[in-house]
């Protein structure tokens, strides 16, 4: 195995000739839990299939190796209790007419939980389908935005230049499709790279095999994620088209590890997770070598997801006033640029909303039900995992679901065109009345 990439079972990762030991333990898959799941015809091979999503997503980390990052208690952290507004009584539309948000969320979207916060105050929380406030939930592609935040922190520390070619940091990818791509183009999903997507999925099964996503595969074609990335070629013009592919996030994560000189889990723990005032552990799924699934393996609670949003709408500061996420990064996300706007128009999401994709975040303009337009930041997972942030009112909507179909246009339209506008209409009306 290439020593630049190898990670031992105790989480030892190598960077050049010097090794950096992780302070976090790599836990194996839970054999007892897997044996119990088998009685219900759920296995490592099929845990992520649509029919199982409703029950497996809160337990996803149990099916794979994972690294657990415990919370650190802070005197300034908030313990939210109760709800001030029952948002489930609101209504929005589906194809058969108006329904309460309770029906649309619980019965149409297979929602597990939702937490809504404004200016640090808990407005609403609910937990469906056997889920509770303390459980972690698989975030799927919401994970990608966390990797981008760690990259932004690296930039602010002077360790990373996003305008550099990717191979400046990852020379192993010279002569691959990534050779002429910048780090920024990778972060914006504008790398032009191509993959062979599996039927019914949105990723390449060869990558899933490297990640032990569905258990250990004896016939895995590659030893690690960069070996896989090295085989890919360009399908599209570099920098011109927004094309949403997991491998972009995976190589961005490797850049973060390289410039920080530490495993991604340690960077996440020390630079972000331990500075947020979270309640519950984060559980980040990995392969047997300790490589995190950077594009979709993070498991956190919905309340803690809302805390992330609270920091972002507070210009990157936590409740102690510490700058956790660079303010310039958040400003850049909201401002966008001509390159990402043009690339968005070439992608398949342009019909959903006006906006752009930059640094693993979506910035969207959502029409309200009252004629207004809301400009929001969005972190989005393919089965209804969502963090929506409306910076002007400092409103945060954190949502976790187990919608059966992945990357469903129906799901996206219900969430972004119906549910989120209805919630923002109500929350902002309450704020106006309070004034």
pLDDT digit of tens for each residue in the chain (435 aa)?
Answer: 333 333 333 333 333 323 455 679 999 999 999 999 999 999 999 999 988 988 999 999 999 999 999 999 999 998 888 778 899 999 999 999 999 999 999 999 999 999 999 999 999 999 999 999 999 999 999 999 999 999 999 999 999 999 999 999 999 999 999 999 999 999 999 999 998 776 666 678 899 999 999 998 777 789 999 999 999 999 899 999 999 999 999 999 999 999 999 999 999 999 999 999 999 999 999 999 999 999 999 999 999 999 999 999 999 999 999 999 999 999 999 999 999 999 999 988 988 899 999 999 999 999 988 888 999 999 999 889 999 999 999 999 999 998 877 668 889 999 999 999 999 999 988 764 554
Phi, psi at 171, each rounded to 5°:
-65, -15
Half-sphere exposure of 430 (CA within 13 A, CB side): 17
Cβ burial, residue 17 (10 Å; 0-12/13-18/19+): exposed
Domains of the chain: 19-137+261-435 (3.40.710.10)
**β strands within 144-290, DSSP E:** 282-285
Give pTM, 2 decimals.
0.93
Cβ burial, residue 432 (10 Å; 0-12/13-18/19+): exposed
Radius of gyration (C-alpha) of the chain in whole angstroms: 21
| Bridge partners, 373 (sequence order) | 367
Give, rounded to a whole angstrom, the gap between the first and last alpha carbons of the chain. Answer: 62
**β strands within 305-385, DSSP E:** 354-358, 361-367, 373-380
What is the greatest pairwise CA distance in the chain?
63
């Amino acid at each position: 195995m290439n020593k630049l990439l190898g990670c031992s079972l105790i989480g030892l990762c190598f960077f050049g000739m010097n090794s950096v030991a992780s302070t976090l333990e790599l836990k194996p898959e839970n054999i007892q839990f897997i044996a119990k799941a088998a009685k219900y015809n759920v296995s490592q091979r099929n845990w992520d299939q649509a029919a199982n999503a409703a029950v497996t997503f809160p337990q996803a980390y149990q099916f794979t190796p994972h690294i657990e990052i415990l919370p650190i208690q802070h005197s300034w952290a908030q313990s939210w209790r109760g709800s001030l507004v029952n948002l489930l009584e609101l209504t929005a539309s589906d194809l058969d007419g108006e329904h309460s948000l309770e029906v649309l969320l619980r019965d149409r979207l297979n929602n597990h939980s939702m937490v809504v916060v404004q200016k640090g105050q808990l407005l609403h929380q609910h937990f469906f389908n056997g889920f509770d406030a303390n459980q972690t939930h698989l975030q799927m592609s919401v994970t990608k935005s966390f990797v981008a935040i760690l990259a932004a922190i690296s930039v602010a520390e002077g360790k990373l230049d996003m305008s550099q070619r990717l191979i400046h940091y990852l020379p192993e990818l010279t002569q691959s499709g990534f050779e002429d791509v910048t780090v920024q183009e990778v972060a914006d999903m504008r790398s032009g790279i191509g993959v062979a997507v599996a039927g019914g999925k949105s990723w390449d099964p060869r990558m899933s095999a490297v990640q032990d996503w569905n258990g250990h595969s004896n016939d895995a074609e590659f030893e690690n994620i960069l070996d896989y990335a090295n085989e890919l070629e360009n399908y599209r013009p570099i920098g011109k088209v927004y094309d949403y592919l997991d491998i972009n996030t995976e190589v961005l994560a490797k850049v973060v590890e390289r410039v920080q000189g530490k495993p991604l889990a340690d960077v996440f723990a020390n630079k972000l997770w331990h500075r947020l005032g979270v309640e519950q552990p984060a559980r980040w799924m990995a392969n047997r070598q300790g490589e995190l699934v950077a594009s979709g393996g993070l498991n956190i609670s919905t309340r803690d997801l809302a805390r992330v949003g609270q920091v972002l709408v507070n210009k990157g500061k936590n409740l102690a006033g510490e700058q956790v996420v660079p303010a310039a990064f958040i400003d850049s996300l909201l401002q966008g640029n001509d390159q990402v706007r043009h690339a968005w128009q070439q992608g398949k999401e342009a019909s959903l909303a006006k906006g752009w994709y930059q640094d693993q975040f979506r910035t969207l303009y959502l029409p309200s039900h009252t004629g207004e337009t809301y400009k929001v930041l969005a972190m989005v997972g393919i089965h209804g995992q969502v963090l929506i942030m409306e910076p002007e009112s400092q409103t945060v909507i954190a949502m976790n679901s187990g919608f059966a179909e992945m990357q469903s246009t129906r799901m996206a339209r219900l969430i972004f065109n119906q549910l989120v506008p209805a919630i923002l209409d109500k929350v902002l009306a309450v704020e106006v009345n309070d004034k």
